[in-house]
Amino acid sequence: MRVSDSMKEPLPTPLEDRPHKRRPVPLALLVAMRPKQWTKNLLVLAGLLFTLDQHHPIGDFRLVGLGFLLFCLLSSVVYLINDLVDRESDRRHPRKRRRPIACGDLPPNIAVGAAIAFGLIGIVGSVLLNPMFGAVAILYFLMTLGYSFYFKHIVIIDVLVLAAGFVLRAIAGVALIHAALSTWLILCTLMLALFLGLSKRRAELIAMEMSGTVGTRRILDEYTSGMLDQMIVIVTSTCLMSYSLYTVESQAATRHHYLMVTIPFVIYGIFRYLYLMHRHMLGESPDAIILEDRPTLINIALWGVTTALIVSHSFDPLLAHLSH
């Protein structure tokens, strides 16, 4: 069957193919904070999404919103520090050479000052918002700093630390609303994060080999595309199985029997990501896929809306009517 032309949507243009125009310092700072990657911090909302049936007060929604913003601030501090540390190697990278610090748009002294100010605001604000949330946020911040200076140079540990950062985001969101921490939430988040991390490593390795650049990422010398493909197969299978079991075996599933309806969205999302990674070399930038690929955006939106309706019992009257 022939795919219609309407389904052949334009794919994101690789960053290295776009012309560079010098940016003013405020804009360069904003770009260096990587707002596109703030999508990762939406995991702070996961605990709230899967407990919508508990009738949270409006204050919980405000807390989670503030928690999301604080994690965006803290993650941006780490991005600034990481770009400061890696600015020399980034200048030799075909894509990362466009980063504001590496290309000279953002002076290092301004980046350092911004990192200190934003770091203090993020840490103090997190502790004041909720002590447990603050403790998780500080742990996340220290761990990601450790990644920038040390862990990213240790094979396999680098990906595991990245995945742990995703898990801590989800745990922090649960702490804000005083909900019970689900082991299923941790397992599904961990497997998804490993999938994204390993896919990113594979894309970085392929891009380095195709461009002929060396010395941009020492850790990539420890990986091979074949080894990463095997790891991706393992975590992809585990991720799909974990989420499927969650929708039929977890405590949430016992209260919401139709959670399994969301499984196809997860399958499509992962398969679409693999397609873009293998056919269009987009795995190096997960944020580009999430924010710029229309089918992925629609799929995520449909998954979120469907999950919210099921968990909040909004489907119950309709299902009861259909059962009669």
Quick check: 138 pLDDT over 90?
Answer: yes
Burial-class residue 245 by CB neighbours within 10 Å (0-12, 13-18, 19+).
Answer: middle
pLDDT at res. 314: 56
Helix (H), strand (E), coil (C) string for 151-183? HHHCCCHHHHHHHHHHHHHHHHHHHHHCCCCCH
Assigned token pair, 210: 């195709």
User: Cα separation of 270 and 296, whole Å?
Assistant: 9
Residue by residue, DSSP assigns 277-322 as HHHH--TT-HHHHHHH-HHHHHHHHHHHHHHHHHHTTTTHHHHHHH
More confident: 82 or 323: 82
For residue 75, give the nearest of 168, 2, 178, 9 by alpha carbon.
168
User: In the CATH hierarchy, which fold is given to the domain comprising 23-181?
Assistant: Tetracycline Repressor; domain 2 (1.10.357)
Backbone angles phi, psi at 155, to 5 degrees: -60, 140
Closest CA to 273 of 260, 259, 289: 289
C-alpha dist (Å) from residue 91 to 54, 112, 117, 204, 284: 50, 19, 26, 15, 17
Q: Is the pLDDT of residue 118 over 70?
A: yes
- Separation CA 179–CA 51 (nearest Å): 8
Q: Tokens 């988040």 identify what position? A: 189
Residue bearing the bigger pLDDT, 215 or 160: 160
Within 10 Å of residue 8's Cβ, how many Cβ atoms?
A: 8
Question: How does residue 20 score in pLDDT terms, banded at 50, 70 and 90?
Answer: low
Q: What is the pLDDT of residue 110?
A: 92
Name which of 40, 64, 33 is nearest 51 in CA terms.
64
CA distance 136 to 318: 40
pLDDT given for residue 288 in this prediction: 79
Q: What are the boundaries of each domain within the chain?
A: 23-181, 183-324
If pLDDT is split at 50, 70 and 90, which confidence band does 213 have? low
Q: What is the pLDDT of residues 215-260, one digit of tens each?
A: 567 788 899 999 999 999 999 999 999 999 999 888 888 888 889 9
Average pLDDT over residues 28-51: 90
What pLDDT digit, counting tens, does each position of 299-309 carry?
Answer: 999 999 999 99
Q: Given pLDDT bands bounded at 50, 70 and 90, which one contains residue 15?
A: very low
Would you state the torsion angle of the CA atoms of residues 205, 193, 103, 27, taken in this order, to the nearest 10 degrees?
A: 160
